[in-house]
Amino acid sequence: MFVQIAMAGVLAPAMATAVWLANSWEVRVIALLMLAEAATPLPMPAFLSGCWEQRTEAGRWTEECWTDTRGGLMIGSGRDGNGDKVGNWEWMRIERGADGNLMFYGSPKGAPAVGFKAVEGDGKSITFVNASHDYPQRVRYVMTEMGLDAEVSLADGNNPNRWSYRRTAGAPQK
């Protein structure tokens, strides 16, 4: 009936076109496909599991270790230093929130955890963003042929800090 009233000229022609489009099967199919894509959760980043390390010739080192994805939760730890001295350390976790989205939480030196929402990912990479945080605003991991690359930056990718990790001895080979 709404379409008939619109066609009779009671509503503006643009509204009649919008009503026709809303009732077309093509729009319904496209809308369902868009909803299905938006509702598909990103996979847990299982590729992170294990221990990773970067060393320099000058004796500096950085390491991260991640548990498996068991129970929809990954727990991580990270630290860096020089020789036998630890400079910084951090507790981390990745879990699926109540809304189904993956979240990364970082807690440097035991500070309150800061959350970053996963915005893209596949079986070999994942990116988390929190544009309202001072720094970092983006946390990104990418599996490479040589190991694991990690980067923290501003949300737009500026001001990056990067690490290229290799699996440490004893870590499970994936």
Q: In tens digits, what is the pLDDT along the chain, a chain of 174 residues? A: 333 333 444 444 444 444 444 556 555 545 544 444 555 789 999 999 999 999 999 999 999 999 999 999 999 999 999 999 999 999 999 999 999 999 999 999 999 999 999 999 999 999 999 999 999 999 999 999 999 999 999 999 999 999 999 999 655 454
What local confidence, expressed as pLDDT, does residue 7 receive?
40
What local confidence, expressed as pLDDT, does residue 41 receive?
86
Beta bridge partners, 96, equal 102
Q: How far apart are CA 157 and CA 18, in angstroms?
A: 39
What local confidence, expressed as pLDDT, does residue 11 receive?
43
What local confidence, expressed as pLDDT, does residue 2 receive?
35
Domains contained in the chain, CATH given: 2-39 (no CATH), 46-167 (2.40.128.20)
Q: How far apart are CA 141 and CA 165, in angstroms?
A: 10
Q: How far apart are CA 39 and CA 28, in angstroms?
A: 16
- For 137-151, what is each residue's pLDDT tens digit? 999 999 999 999 999
Let me know: does 133 contact 116? Beta carbons within 8 Å. Answer: yes
Q: How far apart are CA 127 and CA 124, in angstroms?
A: 11
Q: How far apart are CA 141 and CA 128, in angstroms?
A: 9
What local confidence, expressed as pLDDT, does residue 24 receive?
61
Taking Cα atoms as reference points, which of 87, 69, 71, 68 lies closest to residue 79?
Answer: 87
Let me know: does 170 contact 59? Beta carbons within 8 Å. Answer: no
What is the length of the chain? 174
Cα–Cα distance list, 172 to 67, 111, 134, 145 (Å): 11, 30, 35, 16
What local confidence, expressed as pLDDT, does residue 153 receive?
98
Give the CA angle between residues 116, 135, 46 to the nearest 5°: 35
